[in-house]
Amino acid sequence: MDSEKAIMKTLNVALVGAGTIGRMHARHLWRAIDGARLHGVADVFADGAKACAEQNGGVRWTTDYNELLADPAVDAVVVASATDTHPDIVEAAAKAGKAIFSEKPIAKSIADGERALGAVERAGVPFQIGFQRRFDPNFARIKQAIVSGEIGKPHIAHLISRDPGPPHVGPVGLGGGIWFDMAIHDLDMARWLMDDEAVEIYTQAGVMIAPGLEKFGEVDVAVMVLRFANGGVVTIDNHTDSAYGYDQRAEVIGSKGAISIDNTYPNNAVLSNAAGLHHSVPLPYFLDRYQAVYRDEIQVFVNCLLQNTPMQVGVKDARASLALAVAAKQSHEEKRPIKLG
C-alpha cells in the first residue's frame, strides 16, 4: 500500500480459501464492510471458488491464488485457506506487495512461520493475524479492566476454551490440532491480557476422548501453565469434546480485584420446573459466538489500511503465539517445563 492508495475510498480485497470461514469473510466483504469490496475468490476447489464468488456479488474466481496476487487492482488479501498453506500464501502475498489478513496460525513450525513473517517484514506490507477474540466485547472488557487499572496488576488468569465436538481426525497434514488450532488463540489471549511476554510454559495433556489420536501425534485435552516476565501466571484449559457445547470463558485476578466473563447464549431464558432451573447451552460454535466479531476484525483491518495506521494484531503477535504453541507441544512431549525466548 503506497501513500496513493491510502487516500482511496474503497479497497479491493481478494479472498484465498472458500471454506467455511472463507465464505463468511466473503459475505462480510460483500455486504457488511465499509470501505472495502470483495474483488475475487481463489480456492483449489473450482466449485467452491465459483459458488463463493457467485453468491457474493458475482466477482471473479480462480483456482490459482497467484492470479489474484498478480492483479494490480487487488489491494489486500484475506488468507482463509487450509492451515498448512498459510506460510506459502502469506509469503507470496507479501512479495506481491499486498496488505495481508491471515487466519491463524501463521504456520505450524517456527521455520515456516519465520519464512512467512520474514517475507512480510522485508516487504513492509501491513499484516494482521486473525485473533478475532481480541475484538470480542467480553474479552475486550477484561483487557480494558487491566489497562485502566481497575483490577490492579494482574496476578493470575484462567482461560477456558472447549470445543463442542470430538476432535476431527482428518487427513494428515490438514488442520492445526489442539496446539495450533485451539491453544494458539488462548496463548495469544494470555499475552494480550497480561500485557506481557511468557517466559516459561508447562503442559499436562493427553488423549482422554478419542482413543487412537495418539498415532497422529495429537492429544484431545490439554492444560497449560504459563509464567510471564512480571511474575503473572496463566492457566489454559483446552478440551475438545464439551458435552454442553462451545465454551470460552476467562478470569483474571489482580491486586485490586478480579474480572471474569461468561459465554454468550442464544437466549437468556430460565425455565423452572420440578427438575430444576434450566438455561440454554451456549451458542454452539465459534461461527455463532464470534459472528459479529469476525466482521469487526476485518473492518478494523480495512480501517487501519484506509487510515494508514499500524495493524493492531501484527507480526509480533503471530510470531509469539506460534512460539508458545510450539513450546506447549514440546512441554507435553518432553514432560518438562520449557523456557521461552
CB of 50 to its own copies, least distance (A): 21
Options 261, 304, 320, 340; binder of its own copies; rule CB under 8 A: 261
Comparing CB distances to its own copies, the nearer of 266 and 341 is 266
CB of 296 to its own copies, least distance (A): 14
Neighbouring-strand partners of residue 203: 224
Strands 221-228 and 198-206, sheet pairing: antiparallel
Q: What are phi and psi of 160, to 5 degrees?
A: -120, 125
Contact by Cβ (8 Å): 297, 132: yes
Q: For residue 10, state whether it binds its own copies (rule: CB under 8 A).
A: no
Per-residue string for binding with its own copies, 17-46, x by CB under 8 A? Answer: --------------xx--------------
Q: What are phi and psi of 288, to 5 degrees?
A: -80, -50
Comparing CB distances to its own copies, the nearer of 109 and 204 is 204
Residues numbered 298 to 337 that lie near its own copies (CB under 8 A) are 335-337
Which strand (E) or helix (H) includes residue 190? Answer: helix 184-194
Per-residue string for binding with its own copies, 117-156, x by CB under 8 A? Answer: --------------------xx-xxx--x----xxxx-xx
Which strand (E) or helix (H) includes residue 106? Answer: none
Comparing CB distances to its own copies, the nearer of 138 and 312 is 138
Distance CA 29, CA 6 (A): 19
> 24: burial class by Cβ within 10 Å (0-12, 13-18, 19+)?
middle
Per-residue string for binding with its own copies, 218-247, x by CB under 8 A? Answer: ---x-x-x-x---x-x-x-x-x-xxxxx-x
CB of 44 to its own copies, least distance (A): 30
Neighbouring-strand partners of residue 300: none
Comparing CB distances to its own copies, the nearer of 63 and 280 is 280
Tell me the CA distances in angstroms from 19 to 80, 81, 141, 236, one per residue in order. Answer: 8, 7, 31, 28
Comparing CB distances to its own copies, the nearer of 291 and 309 is 291
User: Residues 36, 38, 43, 48: what is their CA dihedral angle, to the nearest 10 degrees?
Assistant: 140
Residue type, 83: T
CB of 331 to its own copies, least distance (A): 10
Residue type, 72: P
CB of 79 to its own copies, least distance (A): 26
Number of H helices, E strands in the chain: 12, 15
Binding site for its own copies (CB under 8 A): 31-32, 137-138, 140-142, 145, 150-153, 155-156, 158, 160, 162, 200, 202, 204, 206, 208-209, 221, 223, 225, 227, 231, 233, 235, 237, 239, 241-245, 247, 253, 255-262, 264, 266-281, 335-337
